[in-house]
Amino acid sequence: MQDLIGTGVALVTPFNAQGAVDHEALSRIVNHQVDNGVDYLVVLGTTGESVTLSKEEKHEVIKTIKNANDGRLPLVIGVGGNDTAVVVNELKMADLEGFVAVLSVSPAYNKPTQEGIFQHFKAVSEASPLPVILYNVPGRTGSNMAVETVVRLSQFDNVVAIKEAAGDLVQAMNMIQYTPKDFLVISGDDMIA
């Protein structure tokens, strides 16, 4: 997954004064990132308001970003949520053309057990036609993905990375140590960078 080496930016979704997606501003944001040397773009991650956009708005955001990017940088798409069946269905129904990987956040609010997190991501892995990046952000989800769970998930062929945002350097180092050599531990937190 050489496309995921370097700096990936989770794009925000700007809105106008009427509360609609500001597609012109979104295009400017994409061009600003490309022009300033980022290595890949994350579309509809949690920073991109993915949980508050309608299906139609998501479709339009993807279209705007793809058009503005014009193939210049690799694209990662965020597909996550706290309902495993909904996430799996979204992966099966999504048009993932033009994306190199899926970023999927650990379930929020439910506070699943480690086995629950494993089973959720096992289902995501089985449903995804693209490589999967796990996203651990306990400050937002209410639960932390343990190193042991990440190690188990790293054994799936298409689970290729974790965006680690727990803010725990020892945990991140253990993920690096105990996962396969080609498994990426991507910093999702300034402390880990």
Span 95-119, mean pLDDT?
95
CATH code for the domain of 172: 3.20.20.70
Domain enclosing residue 184, as ranges: 82-193
Q: Which two tokens stand for residue 107?
A: 């379930």
Same domain, 123 and 170: yes
Span 99-103, mean pLDDT?
98
Q: What residues contact residue 77 under an 8 Å CB cut-off, 6+ apart?
A: 42, 43, 44, 62, 94, 96, 99, 101, 102, 103
pLDDT of residue 191: 75
Residue 188 in this model has a pLDDT that exceeds 80: yes
Same domain, 90 and 74: no
Q: What residues contact residue 144 under an 8 Å CB cut-off, 6+ apart?
A: 136, 138, 166, 171
Question: What are 40-92's pLDDT values in tens digits?
Answer: 999 999 888 888 899 999 999 999 999 999 999 999 999 999 999 999 999 99
Same domain, 55 and 100: no
Confidence of residue 133 (pLDDT cuts 50, 70, 90): very high
For the chain, the average pLDDT equals 95
Same domain, 25 and 48: yes
Question: What are 10-40's pLDDT values in tens digits?
Answer: 999 999 999 999 999 999 999 999 999 999 9
Same domain, 175 and 131: yes
pLDDT of residue 83: 95
- End of a domain among 29, 52, 78? 78
Same domain, 72 and 114: no
Same domain, 55 and 117: no
- Count structural domains, the chain: 2
Q: What is the pTM for the complete model shown?
A: 0.95
Q: For residue 27, which of 46, 37, 41 has the smallest C-alpha distance?
A: 41
Q: Tell me the catalytic residues.
A: 135, 163
- End of a domain among 47, 78, 109? 78
* DSSP bridge pairs for 164: 136, 187
